[in-house]
Amino acid sequence: MNAKAETTDRLWTTGEIARLTGCDIKSVRRWIDQGMLEGFRMPDMGKEAPERRVYHDVLRAFLVKQGFERPVARMDALEPSGKVEIKPVKIQHDDD
């Protein structure tokens, strides 16, 4: 399965997945590290361990396969947050 070609732009953190499923964050990390859940690590931003991310559709398919019905229903109720509406703002400068 080519997950990247079949996913939305929404990425989930391990913490978000843990809260969604009610599982410990260590379990979520283990799912990714053991290849049960397809994810990837973000580039190192000066942290000890770069954070893992999972695409929305990949996470949803994993949860369906594992029988996590309630988290899937919660995911389906969410609007994708990968896209942000940007509104122009007028900046006023003080004339000294």
Could you report the per-residue pLDDT of 85-96, keeping only the tens digit for each?
A: 434 444 555 654
Q: In what side-by-side order are the strands of the sheet with 40-41?
A: 11-13, 52-55, 40-41
Residue 28 has pLDDT above 90, yes or no: yes
Q: Cα separation of 37 and 61, whole Å? A: 9
Q: Cα separation of 30 and 86, whole Å? A: 36
Residue 46 has pLDDT above 80, yes or no: no
Of all residues in the chain, what percent carry a pLDDT higher than 90? 33
pTM of the model: 0.67
